[in-house]
Structure 1
Amino acid sequence: MDSPHGAAVKAEDFGLKGPRGWAFRGVGIDAAPGSLIAVEGPSGTGRTCLLLALTGRMKPTAGHAEVGGHRLPKHMTAVRRVAALGPVAGVTDLDQALTVAEQLREGALLHRHYDGPVRALLRSPAERRADARARIEAALDTAGLDLTTLPKGPRTSVRDLERLESVRLSVAIALLGSPRLLALDDLDLKLSDTERTEAWALLRSIAAAGTTVLAVCSEAPDDAVVVRTGPQEPAAPDAGADPAADAAPAADADTENDAENDTENETEETKGADDALAEAGRA
């Protein structure tokens, strides 16, 4: 059964092959809504590509998956609507030139755009500002980021944040859209043992509240649904195949309108997905 809060994640013989061979293959998952899913494996085993494929940002080439009842690869746009990315290098990087407050406001504006211009026009500017403040405060509370503890409060530069603070800020921005699936890459990168424990505690609390969490890591906790990635044997390109066709995420087949929206709303996420697949050997 699915949930209005969390998304069930299922996959069978799920795989993605690019011009350099398989990024990942044969992946199986069966996770209920509100699960904590850990993608465990060494760097270079397709972990990032798997995360992007399960969140609808990269088109798989083998098997299938379902996220929140939406089947992949057929309904990639629908999956993107319910899945949000936390920190993913090269895809959702924070703007180092902004302050924390500016980064949060930018995130709130982006999510308001996704809510739809008609809905926004029905509310007064004061109502929109109040709604944005409430959403930001709720997201910060869930992410465990207290702005008063930062060196300059909300005016602290993003570049001055510690690694765990940066993770919490990225999570807060992702939560502004009330996703059913939250995905994070390299969760335990550059974290001390104590910080790693705090990061997993944060993700457990989000999952316990109902949102499904998918986190790439080098070592998974015992209580997570674990998906392990490993080295893949390189595969020669099919005769007559166009490697460039493998490298580019194909258009979604939801509806004609979805295709138009994807073209209009191309973001750094899709550009980052191109880079991730091109660098599948380092994912």
Structure 2
Amino acid sequence: MVAEGFGLKGPRGWAFRGVSVDAAAGSLVTIEGPSGSGRTCLLLALAGRMRATEGHAEVGGFALPRKMAAVRRISALGPVTGVSDLDPALTVAEHLRERALLQRRFDGSPLALLRPRAERAAASRARIEAALAAAGLDLATLPKAERTSVRDLERLEALRLSIALALIGAPRLLAVDDADLKLSESARAEAWALLRSVADSGTTVLAVCSEAPGGTVTVRTDATTTTATTATTDAETPAEAKTDAETGTGTDADADTDTDTDTEKGAADALAETGRA
């Protein structure tokens, strides 16, 4: 994943701007910042779901925004509120069966449909079991096993289910919004351990959070400006990661007055394009 000067502007301002990142395949990349600073918009743009308006990026060898469809084919969304929410009325088993059927119908080879029904069912079960194992979700530990409704899941269990659903398609990029939202300290540690294990398996993980852990490639967004910080590792301190506005290296457009409200409006406009707002 590579980006330089990446930005997205809506009718009422910038959702994010000046993003630069360079991460190898299998990296854990975090987008850190306060709510309303364009974090989700940046996540969706790098996953090929939103069209950037300045700069360029490349994911898996595909250039953005020109090759958005190709990036969508190699990426998958974990939990993104308003975009890929779990249905609270469905059970865990129903979610898994639905995703496996969609995967087989739209992403599989047409020739696979000619295989015997039993063989197709066995392949789907194998995909589901592998995804559950990678997400660390043991159905036997749930209140009603696979018949447990999503509304009865704990926050960490729901996160694991969302990630399992995304991994059924064996994506090269996994995008996760609000990775540390409403988690206790111990549950947060488990969530980051899960995302690291997915990255260690070779899948690049892009995760939005309020506070990034050490050892990640980090992009920091700031609700008080229209810029995002460049990518850093845990070896760098926050003081070493400067925004374009702080270093004076931005474009003439940086001279525009940027406020919390402008950034939030820009992000809201951009999200409206996905049908989220």
TM-score w.r.t. structure 1 length? 0.81
Shift of 1:18: 0.4
Identify the match of residue 83 of structure 1 among 75, 90, 93: 75
SS at match of 1:214: strand
Does residue 221 of the first structure (1) align with residue 224 of the second (2)?
no
Counterpart of 1:100? 92
Q: 1:151 aligns with which of 119, 143, 146?
A: 143
Counterpart residue number, 1:254? none
Pair 1:140 & 2:154 matched:
no
Secondary structure (helix, strand or coil) at the match of 2:8 reads strand
CA distance in 2, matches of 1:85, 1:178: 12
Matched, 1:274 2:274: yes
Q: How does 1:155-234 map to 2 (within 5 A)?
A: 155-231=147-223, 232-233=225-226
Please state how far the C-alpha of 1:120 moved relative to its aligned partner.
Answer: 3.0
1:12 aligns with 2:4: yes
CA contact (8 A) 1:180 1:211 kept: yes
Gaps of 5+ in 1: 1-8, 237-245, 250-270
Match of 1:240 in 2: none
In the alignment, what sits opposite 1:33? Answer: 25
**SS of residue in 1 equivalent to 2:85:** coil
Q: CA deviation at 1:247?
A: 9.1
Amino acid at match of 2:92: V
Instruction: Report the counterpart of residue 5 of structure 1 in structure 2.
Output: none
Q: C-alpha displacement at 1:110, in angstroms?
A: 1.1
Q: 1:47 aligns with which of 31, 39, 49?
A: 39
The 2-side partners of 1:87 and 1:81 are apart by 17
Q: Is the alpha carbon distance of 1:248 and 1:193 closer, same or farther for their aligned partners in structure 2, counting shifts above 3 Å?
A: closer
Please report how far the alpha carbon of residue 95 of structure 1 lies from its aligned counterpart in structure 2 after TM superposition: 1.1
Q: Which runs of 5+ in 2 are unaligned?
A: 227-253, 258-266
Inter-partner Cα distance in structure 2 for 1:178 and 1:272: 28
Query: Any conservation in 1 of the 2:180–2:209 contact (CA below 8 Å)?
Result: yes
Give the deviation of 1:96 after TM superposition: 1.0
Residues 210, 159 of structure 1: alpha-carbon distance in 2 compared, 3 angstrom cutoff: same
Summarize the Cα distance change of 1:66–1:119 in structure 2 as closer, same or farther, 3 Å threshold. same
Distance in 2 between residues matched to 1:12 and 1:169, nearest whole Å: 33
Q: Cα RMSD over matched residues?
A: 2.0
The equivalent residue for 2:16 is 24
Contact 1:90 1:272 in 2 (8 A): no
- Equivalenced residue count is 239
Runs of 4+ aligned residues of structure 1 deviating over 6 Å after TM superposition are: 246-249
Once the two structures are TM-superposed, the CA of residue 274 in structure 1 deviates from its matched residue by 2.5
Match of 2:110? 118
What is the CA distance between 1:248 and its match in structure 2?
8.6
Q: Which amino acid aligns with 2:62?
A: H
Question: 1:138 and 1:38, CA in 2 relative to 1: closer, same or farther beyond 3 A?
Answer: same
Asked if the contact 1:85–1:184 (Cα under 8 Å) also holds between the matched residues in 2, the reply is yes
Shift of 1:116: 4.0
- Candidates 51, 54, 57, aligned match of 1:62: 54
